[in-house]
A and B are shown apart, each in its own frame.
Chain A
Amino acid sequence: DSGVTQTPKHLITATGQRVTLRCSPRSGDLSVYWYQQSLDQGLQFLIQYYNGEERAKGNILERFSAQQFPDLHSELNLSSLELGDSALYFCASSVEGNLYNEQFFGPGTRLTVL
C-alpha cells in the first residue's frame, strides 16, 4: 500500500460524458502527478500540482483539467469523453516537486468509455 488513494476504482461511461477522478496523496506529500496508461500510448504524464499550484504540464488534452485543493487532494476532470480516452489513470504523490524525489503511485482508476 503506497498510501495514495484513488476513487473510483472503475468507471464506465458513455462518449460525450464528463467524469471526475479523485486522488488523495500520502500524508505530508505536497506534490501530485496525474498519468494516463493506455495500450497504444504507454504511460504518459499529464499534469503536476505542487501545494495547490500547477507545476508542470505534459500531454494533457484541452478537454481535461485538474486542480489541487487546500487539503492537497486532487481531482482530474475529463469532459466530452471519446472512446480513445479509455485507459488507466494513475495519480502519484511526492514530498516535494523535485524529480529526484520518489513518486508514490496510487492503484489507479480504470476508465472505460463506451
Chain B
Amino acid sequence: AQSVTQLDSQVPVFEEAPVELRCNYSSSVSVYLFWYVQYPNQGLQLLLKYLSGSTLVESINGFEAEFNKSQTSFHLRKPSVHISDTAEYFCAVSDLRAQKLVFGQGTRLTINP
C-alpha cells in the first residue's frame, strides 16, 4: 500500500525567505502526487499535482514541486514566502489499487515577519 511521509510537522520561516516542505512516498507502481493547502478554518485546496510529463510542476502562487522518482520524493518549494502562505500543507499520493488518496500528516508553515 502507498504511504506518505512529511518529514517536518512544523516549519517556521521569516517572510521573504525560501522554504522547502519535504514529502517522501512509498509506492511500487506509477503514482499521481498532490500538494494540498489548508488555510486556517478552511477546507483543503489543491495547490499543485503531478500526473505525468515534466517532473517540475508549478502553482499560480509561486510554489513549485519536483517529482523525483529515484528518491521517491515530491518536495514543495517557494523562493520567497509571504505572510499569506501561513497554512498547513498536505502531500498526498494516489493508491490506485484501493482507489483513494493517502495523505501525509501535514506540515504547518508559519511565517514570521
**Contact bitstring A59-91, B, C-beta under 8 A = 1, else 0:** 000000000000000000000000000000010
CB of A25 within 8 A of chain B?
A: no
CB of B101 within 8 A of chain A?
A: yes
CB of A42 within 8 A of chain B?
A: yes
Residue numbers in B under 8 Å from A100 (CB-CB): 32, 49, 51, 94
Residue numbers in A under 8 Å from B90 (CB-CB): 43
**Contact bitstring A33-59, B, C-beta under 8 A = 1, else 0:** 000000000111100100000011010
Q: In the complex, which residue of chain B has the Cβ closest to the Cβ of A56? A: B99
Residue numbers in A under 8 Å from B102 (CB-CB): 45
A-B contact count (CB 8 A): 53
Complex CA gap A42/B36 in Å reads 14
CB of B96 within 8 A of chain A?
A: yes
Give the interface residue-count category, chain B.
20 to 34
| Contact A56 B100, CB 8 Å, known A43-B90, A102-B49 | yes
Q: In the complex, which residue of chain B has the Cβ closest to the Cβ of A41? A: B105
CB atoms of B105 and A42 under 8 A apart: yes
| Dominant SS among interface residues on chain B | strand
Q: In the complex, which residue of chain B has the Cβ closest to the Cβ of A102? A: B46
CB of A21 within 8 A of chain B?
A: no
Q: Interface size of A by Cβ–Cβ distance < 8 Å?
A: 22
- The stretch that binds A, out of B13-21, B37-45, B69-77, B78-86, is B37-45
Residue numbers in A under 8 Å from B44 (CB-CB): 43, 90, 92, 105
Residue numbers in B under 8 Å from A2 (CB-CB): 43, 45
Residue in B45, B95, B106 whose CB lies within 8 Å of A42: B106
A residues bordering B, Cβ < 8 Å?
A: 2, 4, 42-45, 48, 55-56, 58, 90, 92, 97, 99-100, 102-108
